[in-house]
Structure 1
Amino acid sequence: MAKKIKQIAIYGKGGIGKSTTTSNISAALSTFGYKVMQFGCDPKADSTNTLRGGNYIPTILDTLREKLKVKTNEVVYEGFNGVYCVEAGGPAPGVGCAGRGIITAVELMKQLNVFKELDIDIVIYDVLGDVVCGGFAVPIREGIAEHVFTVSSADFMAVYAANNLFKGIQKYSNSGGGLLGGVIANSINVGYSKEIIDDFVSRTSTQVVEYVPRSVTVTQSELQGKTTIEAAPKSAQADVYRSLASKIYNHTESKVPTPLDTKELREWASKWGDQLLAIEAGEVRSVAASI
């Protein structure tokens, strides 16, 4: 009987730290002894850089443009501690749809039977979450990823992107789509950031999986082209990523979120904006209960 491969997707708006978080999860899981594949689904093709010393790898779409038949070793590369790295890639700038690259890449992996060939334990899809269009929604829509997580800070546009993702998950939930495991709260260094995220997940029927603080250790590691797990394994930040990786791997129950509609989200954000001014003025300390 073939083993069940755990497949998850991690979404988040551009620049939120999604690939940084994903790569550290992959690196941590590899140190636990699992065979991990990180599947970059961003046309920038930079998801796996810090797993490979800052180096880019050939993308699936670029490789397919050069040859009709592709072998596994032409699109799958080993990174830190044996993590398998794949980049879907995208079309030439200004031509075609980036989302189709994900569709093509996923189909190629199926044709090559890569997961079974490499005896993978877990596949992590690192997906751009600014827009959940047809291609970028593939891991959700097709039920490829059983569990979906989103990386978000307390900034409004990050929450806005997360809420849009929730709408996509809700839409496909009745047809076998992936369900939401929770929110990875990133760059949480001040008290009100945690309160904002906690309030948002409460209102959308989900949960925070882990609070990840902003840390100079992450910056130092990435300047070396490495994950924090590799560059600073004994750091407090590495401990946070190991804790997150363990929670992600052992997660079993995901749910359908209840996203806010646009008006509700705007009103929620406006109230928080007013309360943050009150915090700045020293009028209140904790404001979640009054929102």
Structure 2
Amino acid sequence: MIKVAIYGKGGIGKSTVTANLAAAFAVKGYKVVQIGCDPKADSTINLLGGNPLIPVMNFMRDNDDEPTIDEMVKTGFGGVECIETGGPTPGIGCAGRGIISTFNLIDDLDVFGRFHPDVVLYDVLGDVVCGGFAAPIREGFAEDILIVTSGEKMALYAANNIKTAVDNFADRGYAKVKGVVLNHRNVENETEKVQAFADEAGIPIVGEIPRSQEIIDWEDQGKTVIEGNPESDIAKRFFALADYLIKENS
């Protein structure tokens, strides 16, 4: 099973990368589960035709019982099974606890045993890597980590923090950083800046996504570019990233 956690600064494009990567795997015939680990709960929306999924934490706040598998998992484009952890009421509680509670529920309900995924993708808020936000990289969940960054200063700062945090977990059997995905924002000398970070961190750039109006246009329709135009040049970037991960895990 391919199990990848995708981290990066908030707003850097993790959900776009994750959803398109999930769709690319699905088109290739793989059974995929995507888990959004962000209180915004918008990771899977473009796999679901623009319709937001009720997050696990919202369900648990509004109901006396825990959700069933059918209530917490919805099937999106290409058969991708979608889960959103959600978070606490804004200003109250710890968002990381929503991730932990959802992961416990996934275990209790044997979600993976029901769906038998070939690929599990975790889309994680990456400004901090502590508590619940570290849960996806603990042993038994994700095995590989992708860091999404642009050449912007704060994106690279967050990327470095993520790499440092993961290095601090190295002796605990946690997931390892597989590489960097450069999600272009067209800042000056962007490729050189990200390459310098990757070289310093000792990790490769494994994917490069040009800034694309096409991605935005398809997302406005509630779709990934893989669904909207799988033959496009931008879609081929996500297929190439999927191929890389398949090869690395073969």
TM bracket (short chain) = over 0.9
Report the CA distance between 1:243 and its aligned residue: 0.7
Q: Corresponding residue for 1:149? A: 146
Distance (whole Å) between structure 2 residues aligned to residue 24 and residue 117 of structure 1: 24
Distance (whole Å) between structure 1 residues aligned to residue 106 and residue 197 of structure 2: 36
Contact kept, 8 Å, 2:59 with 2:66, in 1: the verdict is no
Whether 2:224 is the aligned partner of 1:248: answer: no
Report the CA distance between 1:251 and its aligned residue: 2.3
- Where do 1:20-169 residues align within 5 Å? 20-65=16-61, 66-142=63-139, 144-169=141-166
What secondary structure does 1:136 align onto? helix
Report the CA distance between 1:192 and its aligned residue: 1.9
Report the CA distance between 1:188 and its aligned residue: 6.1
Whether 2:195 is the aligned partner of 1:198: answer: yes
Structure with higher Rg: it is: 1
Distance (whole Å) between structure 1 residues aligned to residue 142 and residue 73 of structure 2: 19
Distance (whole Å) between structure 2 residues aligned to residue 209 and residue 18 of structure 1: 15
Q: TM-score, normalised by structure 1?
A: 0.82
> Per-residue CA shift, 1:219-269, capped at 9, x if unaligned?
11111111000112121111111111211233249xxxxxxxxxxxxxxxx
Contact kept, 8 Å, 1:143 with 1:176, in 2: the verdict is no
Q: Corresponding residue for 1:8? A: 4
Q: TM-score, normalised by structure 2?
A: 0.96
> Per-residue CA shift, 1:123-165, capped at 9, x if unaligned?
1000000111211011124452110111000101011101000
Distance (whole Å) between structure 1 residues aligned to residue 16 and residue 244 of structure 2: 17
**Which stretch of the first structure deviates more once superposed, 234-243 or 24-33?**
234-243
**Which stretch of the first structure deviates more once superposed, 68-77 or 17-26?**
68-77
Q: Which runs of 4+ in 1 moved over 3 A?
A: 188-191
Report the CA distance between 1:45 and its aligned residue: 0.4
Distance (whole Å) between structure 2 residues aligned to residue 196 and residue 161 of structure 1: 14
Contact kept, 8 Å, 2:2 with 2:249, in 1: the verdict is no
Q: Which amino acid aligns with 2:70?
A: N
Q: Which amino acid aligns with 1:95?
A: I
What secondary structure does 1:201 align onto? helix
Distance (whole Å) between structure 2 residues aligned to residue 250 and residue 188 of structure 1: 28
Q: Which amino acid aligns with 1:42?
A: D
What secondary structure does 1:53 align onto? coil
Whether 2:167 is the aligned partner of 1:170: answer: yes
- CA 1:252–1:121: 2 relative to 1, 3 Å: closer
Distance (whole Å) between structure 1 residues aligned to residue 4 and residue 220 of structure 2: 27
- CA 1:69–1:190: 2 relative to 1, 3 Å: closer
Contact kept, 8 Å, 1:40 with 1:126, in 2: the verdict is yes
What secondary structure does 1:131 align onto? coil
Q: Which amino acid aligns with 2:106?
A: M
What secondary structure does 1:157 align onto? helix
Distance (whole Å) between structure 2 residues aligned to residue 200 and residue 62 of structure 1: 38
Q: Which sections of structure 1, spanning at least 5 residues, go unmatched?
A: 254-291
Distance (whole Å) between structure 1 residues aligned to residue 3 and residue 103 of structure 2: 12
- CA 1:69–1:135: 2 relative to 1, 3 Å: closer
Report the CA distance between 1:195 and its aligned residue: 1.1
Q: How many residues align?
A: 249
Q: Which amino acid aligns with 1:104?
A: S
- CA 1:131–1:190: 2 relative to 1, 3 Å: closer
> Per-residue CA shift, 1:102-134, capped at 9, x if unaligned?
101111001111111112111100000011121
Contact kept, 8 Å, 1:37 with 1:83, in 2: the verdict is yes
Contact kept, 8 Å, 2:218 with 2:225, in 1: the verdict is yes
- CA 1:209–1:41: 2 relative to 1, 3 Å: same
Identity of aligned residues (%): 46
